[in-house]
């Protein structure tokens, strides 16, 4: 047990894995629930638009998959203290935080835009393309978190 690989090094790696999946799940849950409310409300007026309006829900689910991928990569790379040093631990912790908080932010964006978008599309069908474009920009925020998380995780 040295100063560079103390026994508590895996704590930060485990916390990174947990942060990745937990915060990405919060974002995905918010996106799913908020869009779901919008879809359920507009389905009463336009039942045939339900399947097209599932798009925000799917994009929110993809955020949870980003978190799942990073958490699985971190969990597979975990080990006990001298093999897994403090550098590995903090890299994995940073990876988990980056994909996690980016997932929360993207999930909030997708949820609010999805809710307003499906309600607007039900009243004005030409808005559908615009809603999808805005949702893509929101999804890309989660992707940025995934990119940085992968860079950090493969750095050791």
Q: Which spans in the chain are helix H? A: 9-43, 55-77, 86-123, 128-153
The length of the chain, given as a count of residues: 156
What's the min distance (Å) between Cβ of 145 and other proteins?
16
What's the min distance (Å) between Cβ of 73 and other proteins?
10
What's the min distance (Å) between Cβ of 56 and other proteins?
10
Instruction: Say if residue 153 is exposed, middle or buried (CB neighbours under 10 Å; 0-12, 13-18, 19+).
Output: buried
How many residues form the binding site for other proteins (CB under 8 A)? 49
Q: Check binding of 68 to other proteins (CB under 8 A).
A: yes
Structure tokens at 25: 């799940």
Q: Check binding of 143 to other proteins (CB under 8 A).
A: no
What's the min distance (Å) between Cβ of 20 and other proteins?
8
Q: Check binding of 30 to other proteins (CB under 8 A).
A: yes
Cβ-based nearer residue to other proteins, 5 or 141: 5
Q: Dihedral of the CA atoms 148, 144, 98, 73 (nearest 10)?
A: -60
Q: Distances in Å between the alpha carbon of 154 and those of 2, 115, 137? A: 23, 37, 26
DSSP state of 62: H
Q: Which residues bind other proteins (CB under 8 A)?
A: 1, 6-8, 10-11, 14-15, 17-18, 21-22, 25-26, 28-30, 32-33, 35-37, 39-41, 43-44, 47, 50-51, 54, 57-58, 60-61, 64-65, 67-68, 71-72, 75-76, 78-82, 84
């Amino acid at each position: 047990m040295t100063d560079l690989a103390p026994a508590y090094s895996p704590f930060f790696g485990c916390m990174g894995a947990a942060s990745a999946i937990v915060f990405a799940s919060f974002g995905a849950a918010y996106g799913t629930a908020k869009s779901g409310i919008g879809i359920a409300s507009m389905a009463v007026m336009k039942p045939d638009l339900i399947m097209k309006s599932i798009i925000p829900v799917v994009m929110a689910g993809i955020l949870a998959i980003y978190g799942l991928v990073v958490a699985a990569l971190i969990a597979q790379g975990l080990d006990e203290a001298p093999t897994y040093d403090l550098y590995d631990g903090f890299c994995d912790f940073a990876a988990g935080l980056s994909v996690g908080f980016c997932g929360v932010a993207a999930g909030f964006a997708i949820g609010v835009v999805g809710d307003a978008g499906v309600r607007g599309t039900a009243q004005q069908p030409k808005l559908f393309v615009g809603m999808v474009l805005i949702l893509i920009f929101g999804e890309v925020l989660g992707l940025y978190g995934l990119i940085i998380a992968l860079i950090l995780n493969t750095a050791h």
